């Protein structure tokens, strides 16, 4: 793969950048929330961990705080540029202290190997003065990287078994290509196994949920790692469930022994700017990743006591101690009821809309409800029904009626992940095409633009042409994208099954060669642009058809494609309608 084609992270991330303790009352192992030893144990719990929840250590989160919040594991960055500032000269003291502190706190340590020292970097000229450039670039000689990895694994092999190769791929974290990363990954595998045959490697992935990259990495370098680390960005917490469940079924089922870890950066959530929303976001993020079959989930942000994030994390950790996903109840889109553990299970439940969960119950059944803040209440049966109050912040339930627990287990069907519910009224799996008519409030049939109107560069204006409202870009104000997401029931993680045909109705240009667009889309090799398409000069509507032979449409960054108009300077684009059609491969 040539460097200009392989460096898709550079291209895509550059475009995006330019466009824009009080603890619960119950002690561990006691009360209705306790899990009997050995029952329903997750891989993490079976190995002695409290719960499959971890934290990324930083200046604001230390080992003691992580342990107090119920974390069982921590990621610590082993910064090569700081550890080996000059070739062969190692400075281990700070990392020694961090690893020892985590060990004293009873935490499992994952060391993240990343960041190139200036002497080893491919950086030249002024680049060598900026650590945010040279340290994010790959090394000139892979042998230097391998020597560092071997030295690190040799030093910590008695205390560390898990080694992640880089943090996240793509700007600003990594300034290399796919080929560069494969070289780092394979070199790390060779060096780590030479130093410690028991070492496990974790492969990094681009920000988002890049299923195409993950599938390709399994194919070309599956023997070089045991775990894929996913760093969702631009997605609601629940939006990872469908993509990761699909990947589990289509890819990991054919790769025995491979696991997924999810690392959430709270800064990627717009709602995180509202302190009151933070506990709900933490709960939804951690629970959604586990629902998608993740072996471990990491929180890469502060546990601010002022917003009781530490308490929320501790509550979840205590509830999940020794329990793995065992079932879920389907109660329609936006309702999440996840059962964890076999004997004496607990439930994590929340609603994106609505106010209660209703369950049938016999006799004098009662359900205990605990908030993420550790406050407990009890709901009693009334006329054979339990009406459990729910909201957007998850709660922990204990004492679920046996019939509901059995239903949840049957729904899961022995899988390690849930299948997101599909509203029959919004099932487009048999549709010939999906479409949207754009105006102030769109008419949308399986093709969605309205959710992206809140984005600064996608906040389309409304114009009136021939007595009808249409959508309009405004390059002068930075409104250059018309974003779309294809309904997942129609097409998701295409994986080469179909070519995709887009039909776009736009108003004609005022003059030749001054108005055009292309398609910025989620392809089999990452987000890319189609060739530029000029709009015919015409006083009327123009229909343009574009075929994408390599569309993947896996919502990698939360959307499938966008009409890009950033190249226009004299005129803005008016869009009336867009449709998408699958074309089966021969």
Local structure of 242: helix, strand or coil: helix
Local structure of 322: helix, strand or coil: coil
Regions of the chain where pLDDT drops below 70: 1-50
Q: Which residues is 388 bridged to in the sheet?
A: 357
Q: Which domains, and CATH codes, for the chain?
A: 3-27+37-322 (3.20.20.80), 335-417 (2.60.40), 425-584 (2.60.120.260)
Taking CA atoms, 136 is separated from 166, 170, 205, 231, 267, in Å, by 9, 10, 15, 17, 20
In terms of Cα–Cα distance, which of 440, 449, 462, 451 is closest to 504?
449
DSSP 334-383: TEEEEEE-SSS-EEEEEESS-SEEEEE--TT-EEEEEETTS-EEEEE-BT
pLDDT at res. 363: 78
Asked if 77 and 95 count as a contact pair (C-beta separation under 8 A), the reply is no
Query: Rounded to two decimals, what is the model's pTM?
Result: 0.82
Q: pLDDT (tens digit, 9 = 90+) per residue, 272-324?
A: 778 888 999 999 999 999 999 999 999 998 888 888 999 999 999 999 999 99
Please give the Cα distance from 101 to 62 (Å, whole number): 9
Residues, the chain: 586
Question: Which string of b and e fits 449-465 if b means at least 16 CB within 10 Å?
Answer: beebbebebbebeebee
Q: pLDDT (tens digit, 9 = 90+) per residue, 321-370?
A: 999 999 999 988 889 999 999 888 999 999 998 888 999 887 788 999 99
Please give the Cα distance from 151 to 326 (Å, whole number): 41
pLDDT at res. 253: 87
Asked if 81 and 156 count as a contact pair (C-beta separation under 8 A), the reply is no
Question: Which string of b and e fits 75-111 if b means at least 16 CB within 10 Å?
Answer: bbbbbbbebbeeeeeeeeeebeebbebbeebebbbbb
Q: What angle do CA 237, 330, 429 make, to 5 degrees?
A: 80
Please give the Cα distance from 468 to 34 (Å, whole number): 62
Please give the Cα distance from 465 to 352 (Å, whole number): 37
* Burial (Cβ within 10 Å: 0-12, 13-18, ≥19) of residue 485: buried
pLDDT at res. 50: 63
Question: Which string of b and e fits 385-406 if b means at least 16 CB within 10 Å?
Answer: ebebebebbbbbbbbbbeebbe
pLDDT at res. 25: 29
Q: What angle do CA 331, 312, 61 make, to 5 degrees?
A: 135
In terms of Cα–Cα distance, which of 82, 228, 205, 61 is closest to 152?
82
Asked if 259 and 228 count as a contact pair (C-beta separation under 8 A), the reply is yes
pLDDT at res. 315: 96
In terms of Cα–Cα distance, which of 223, 204, 90 is closest to 144?
90
The secondary structure of residue 479, as a DSSP letter, is B
pLDDT at res. 261: 98
């Amino acid at each position: 793969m040539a460097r200009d084609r392989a460096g898709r992270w550079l291209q895509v991330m550059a475009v995006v950048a330019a466009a824009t303790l009080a603890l619960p009352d119950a002690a561990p192992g006691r009360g209705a929330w306790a899990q009997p030893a050995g029952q329903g144990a997750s891989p993490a719990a079976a190995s002695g961990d409290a719960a499959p929840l971890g934290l990324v250590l930083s200046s604001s989160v230390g080992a003691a705080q992580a342990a107090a919040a119920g974390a069982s594991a921590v990621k610590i960055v082993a910064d090569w540029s700081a550890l080996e500032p000059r070739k062969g000269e190692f400075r281990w003291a700070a990392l020694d202290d961090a690893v020892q502190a985590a060990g004293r706190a009873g935490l499992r340590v994952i060391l993240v190997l990343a960041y190139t020292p200036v002497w080893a970097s491919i950086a030249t000229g002024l680049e060598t003065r900026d650590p945010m450039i040279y340290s994010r670039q790959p090394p000139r000689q892979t042998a230097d990287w391998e020597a560092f990895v071997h030295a690190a694994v040799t030093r910590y092999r008695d205390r560390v078994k898990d080694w992640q190769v880089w943090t996240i791929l793509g700007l600003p974290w990594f300034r290399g290509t796919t080929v560069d990363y494969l070289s780092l990954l394979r070199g790390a595998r060779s060096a780590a196994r030479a130093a410690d045959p028991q070492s496990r490697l974790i492969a990094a992935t681009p920000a988002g949920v890049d299923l195409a990259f993950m599938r390709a990495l399994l194919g070309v370098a599956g023997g070089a790692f045991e775990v894929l680390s996913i760093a969702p960005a631009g997605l609601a917490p629940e939006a990872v469930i469908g993509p990761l469940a699909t990947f589990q079924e289509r890819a990991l089922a054919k790769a025995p022994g491979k696991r997924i870890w999810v690392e959430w950066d709270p800064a990627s959530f717009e709602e995180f700017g509202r302190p009151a929303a933070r506990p709900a976001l933490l709960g939804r993020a951690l629970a959604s990743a586990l629902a998608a079959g993740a072996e471990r989930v990491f929180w890469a942000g502060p546990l601010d006591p002022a917003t009781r994030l530490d308490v929320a994390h501790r509550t979840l950790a205590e509830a999940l101690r020794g329990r793995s996903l065992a079932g879920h109840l389907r109660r329609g889109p936006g309702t999440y009821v996840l059962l964890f553990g076999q004997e004496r299970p607990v439930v994590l439940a929340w609603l994106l809309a609505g106010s209660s969960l209703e369950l049938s119950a016999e006799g004098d059944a009662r359900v205990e409800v605990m908030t993420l803040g550790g406050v407990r209440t009890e709901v009693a049966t009334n006329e054979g029904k339990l009406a459990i109050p729910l909201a957007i912040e998850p709660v922990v339930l204990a004492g679920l009626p046996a019939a509901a627990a059995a239903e949840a287990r049957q729904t899961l069907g022995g899988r390690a992940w849930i299948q997101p519910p599909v509203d029959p009224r919004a099932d487009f799996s048999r549709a010939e095409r999906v479409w949207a008519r754009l105006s102030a409030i769109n008419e949308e049939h399986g093709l969605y633009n309205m959710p992206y109107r809140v984005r600064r560069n996608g906040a389309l204006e409304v114009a009136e042409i021939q007595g009808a409202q249409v959508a309009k870009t405004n390059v002068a104000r930075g409104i250059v994208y018309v974003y779309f997401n294809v309904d997942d029931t129609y097409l998701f993680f295409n994986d080469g099954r179909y070519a995709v045909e887009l039909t776009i109705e736009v108003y004609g240009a005022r003059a030749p060669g001054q108005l055009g667009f292309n398609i910025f889309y989620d392809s089999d090799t990452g987000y890319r642009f189609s060739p530029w398409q000029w709009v015919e000069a015409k006083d009327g509507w123009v229909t343009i058809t574009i075929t994408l032979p390599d569309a993947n449409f896996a919502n990698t960054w939360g959307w499938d494609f966008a009409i890009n108009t950033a190249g226009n300077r004299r005129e803005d684009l008016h869009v009336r309608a867009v449709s998408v059609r699958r074309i089966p491969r021969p």
